[in-house]
Amino acid sequence: MNPATDQTLITATLQTIRPLDEVAMQAARDRQNRLTKPAGSLGRLEDLSIQLAGIYADPLPVIRDKVIITMAGDHGVVASGVSAFPQEVTPQMVLNFLHGGAAINVLARHIGARITVIDMGVAADLDPHPDLVIAKIAHGTANLTEGPAMTPDQARAAIATGIRIVNQQIELGLDIVGTGEMGIGNTTPSAAIAAVFTGVEPGNIVGRGTGVDDAGYQRKINAVRTALTVNRPDRQHGLDVLAKVGGFEIGGLAGVILGAAARRKPVMVDGFISTAAAMVAAAIEPGVKPYLIAAHKSQEYGHALMLDWLGLHPLIDLDMRLGEGTGAAIGISLAEAACKVLAEMATFDEAGVSDKGAE
């Protein structure tokens, strides 16, 4: 961990984020209006293709290399009884990802995406694996009910790590990135982040996560309330919020989002935890918002409020609440479909079909 180097990378990345390309978007919009269909009849697919044109600065965007970045980390707040599962499940699930047996593996294979798994702060030492990047900030965060989850330098390190990871993937050909995560207890810091930024009382944000019972649910609400009282995170400063009530995988995903936006790559945001990371990224640099696509609305309580805060309209609602990047995988398939419709569908002129304006 090198705080000066990390801060230099973050600053340089933020300075590179630019608005979407309006010329490419207008060209894509004009083509959509000439395709052999009633204008607007493909709804969100049309809007999505136009957004992607603006992100890539290309009126005919193409998605080939699809990547899910799944980041894992543990959380000290698990000691407060906020999860239905023990912390040992985090490294076990990471191994499941690496062996190809998790839901995200199945869905990634289905859409032709590759997965990169990152150990951002698992509370166990994982054996080396060719598909695992060990970028551990620490062996889990501190208990956010007793003080900050991490130091400011650790928060910067998490963000900088995410930037480096996505930059490496872009060099390998990444066209679109989906955010994924794994970490027992991570819905609690995510709810705390959401409560800070939205200003909504924790009882209206906190959900049941992996399925806690009524007593566990109340402990989660109390944990978030306590964390906000003890730490007093400043909603005007995304890094402060991350350090005080966040997680290493959340910070890493915020870095992925910032890094992708700086390189004009779209980010398919998964569910509750990934959206918390998007909120941190947007608080650090609001210019990332046009690069975000909300894959779905999670069944997790409070997710809709988070999406509203970001100004995002989810593509689907399948009552999912798994995480891992599963919703992002489905969303990426829709993004690819949107690009193909824009590029491959014939215009009225090309098809020799009369449009509604013909005499």
- Between CA 117 and CA 237 the distance in angstroms is 28
Which residue matches tokens 């990634």?
108
Task: Go through 174-210 and write b for each residue having 16 or more CB atoms within 10 A of its CB, e for each that does not.
Answer: bbbbbbbbbbbbbbbbbbbbbbbbbebebbebbbbbb
The Cα–Cα gap between 108 and 269 comes to 15
Residue in 181, 249, 300, 324 annotated catalytic: 324
* DSSP symbol at 315: S
- Strand pairing partners for 117? 70, 132
What is the DSSP-derived secondary structure letter of residue 213? -
Alpha helical stretches, state H, 99-213: 103-111, 152-171, 187-198
Confirm whether 324 is a catalytic residue: yes
Distance from C-alpha of 27 to C-alpha of 23, rounded to nearest angstrom: 6
> What is the C-alpha to C-alpha distance for residues 27 and 40, in angstroms, rounded to an integer?
15
CB 298 within 8 A of CB 324: no
DSSP state of 293: E
What positions carry a catalytic annotation?
Answer: 324
